[in-house]
């Protein structure tokens, strides 16, 4: 049965989509059946695995507005035998408006994803960089939240709004939602600031912070423009090794029963 993990941070530029794409790819490379769900209208996770948006006939938009189910919308065996993808296009933004009048508007994704849970070990959701109805839907459907945190100034201060949203979802839509992990991204060991942010994060979140960190890496930044996860673009790069380590750590945490609630 799949563990459903939403990757979210309303602050842009923290490595959210990079983490979703490369964690999903690394899990698939580790022989874990994985579904990557692009829930961001920008569709960067879709293009990041080499899918051209015009060649994706059904997307998450169709699922949320009732035109399709998740199983019919998925693209199978994308770059890895064990990686399937639900794509997104800018049309997804309109789903926010179309969901407003639904009485169960916060649970549409939850109802859709349960049928696919037996088919995967992991379902990784790339949430939009906002805290609107689409993100609420994804958090209501998820077992856990993974938060990428950029090792830069004000990185932790922006988390309070996200944590407030998590608490709201726990109380109203998904009491089992837990913060599974905090992943430090764009880490530069040469900078005092990076080390300070890492220290502050570990002090606040404790063992929820992944031991693995994702460094600043040129090859990691280049990979999306080639439509490839980093482990296919440059498997020897430090970025590829970092995400393989994160995937390994996530698998170990899952086998140990997760990291508890928040």
Q: Would you say residue 73 has pLDDT above 50?
A: yes
Domains and CATH numbers, the chain: 3-257 (3.40.50.300)
56 torsion bin: left (phi>0), alpha (psi -120 to 50), beta (else):
beta
User: What is the residue-averaged pLDDT of the chain?
Assistant: 93
Q: Is 196 in contact with 190 (CB distance < 8 Å)?
A: no
Q: pLDDT band for position 259 (50/70/90)? A: low
* Rounded average pLDDT over 112-130: 96
Contact 158, 126 (CB under 8 A): no
Structure tokens given for 129 = 């960089």
Asked if pLDDT for residue 6 goes beyond 50, the answer is: yes
Report yes or no: 175 and 36 within 8 Å, Cβ to Cβ.
Answer: no
Please give the structure tokens belonging to residue 116: 């696919």
- Look at residue 222 and tell me whether its pLDDT is greater than 60: yes
Of 165 and 235, the structure prediction assigns the larger pLDDT to: 235
Residue 228 CB: number of other CB atoms within 10 A?
19
Tell me: the pLDDT tens digits for 126-170?
A: 999 988 999 999 999 999 999 999 998 777 777 888 898 899 999
Mean pLDDT over residues 68-87, rounded?
97
pLDDT at 162: 86
pLDDT of 260 over the 90 cut? no
Nearest to 220 by CA among 250, 192, 196, 241: 241
pLDDT class of 209 with cuts at 50, 70, 90: very high
Q: Give the pLDDT band of residue 124 (cuts 50, 70, 90).
A: very high
Neighbours of 85 (CB within 10 A): 27
Strands 74-75 and 83-86, sheet pairing: antiparallel
Three-state SS string across the chain, please? CCEEEEECCCCCCCCHHHHHHHHHHHHHHCCCCEEEEECCCCCHHHHHCCCCHHHCCCCHHHHHCCCCCHHHHEECCCCCCCEEEECCCHHHHHHHHHHCCCCCCCCHHHHHHHHHHHHCCEEEEECCCCCCHHHHHHHHHCCEEEEEEECCCCCCCCHHHHHHHHHHHHHHCCCCCEEEEEEEECECCCCHHHHHHHHHHHHHHHHHECCCCCECCHHHHHHHHHCCCHHHHCCCCHHHHHHHHHHHHHHHHHHCCCCCCC
The answer to whether residue 84 scores a pLDDT higher than 80 is: yes
């Amino acid at each position: 049965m799949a563990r459903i993990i939403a990757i979210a941070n309303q602050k842009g530029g923290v490595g959210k989509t990079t983490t979703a794409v490369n964690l999903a790819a690394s899990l698939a490379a580790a022989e874990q059946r994985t579904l990557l769900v692009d829930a961001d209208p920008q569709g960067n996770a879709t293009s990041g695995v080499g899918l051209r948006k015009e060649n994706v006939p059904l997307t998450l938009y169709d699922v949320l507005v009732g035109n399709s189910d998740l199983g019919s919308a998925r693209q199978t065996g994308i770059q890895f035998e064990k990686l399937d993808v639900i794509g997104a296009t800018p049309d997804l933004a309109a789903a926010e408006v179309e969901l407003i009048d639904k009485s169960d508007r916060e649970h549409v994704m939850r109802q859709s994803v349960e049928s696919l849970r037996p088919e995967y070990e992991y379902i990784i959701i790339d949430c939009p960089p906002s805290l609107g109805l689409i993100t609420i839907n994804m958090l209501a459907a998820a077992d856990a939240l993974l938060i990428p945190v950029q090792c830069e100034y004000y990185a932790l201060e922006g988390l309070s709004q996200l944590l407030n949203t998590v608490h709201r979802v726990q109380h109203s839509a998904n009491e089992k939602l837990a913060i599974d992990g905090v992943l430090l991204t764009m880490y530069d060991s040469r900078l005092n600031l990076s080390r300070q942010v890492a220290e502050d994060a570990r002090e606040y979140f404790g063992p929820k912070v992944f031991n693995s960190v994702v460094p600043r890496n040129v090859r990691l930044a280049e990979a999306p423009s080639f439509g490839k996860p980093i482990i296919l673009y440059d498997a020897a790069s430090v970025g590829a090794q970092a995400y393989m380590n994160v995937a390994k750590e996530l698998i170990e945490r899952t086998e140990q029963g997760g990291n508890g609630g928040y």
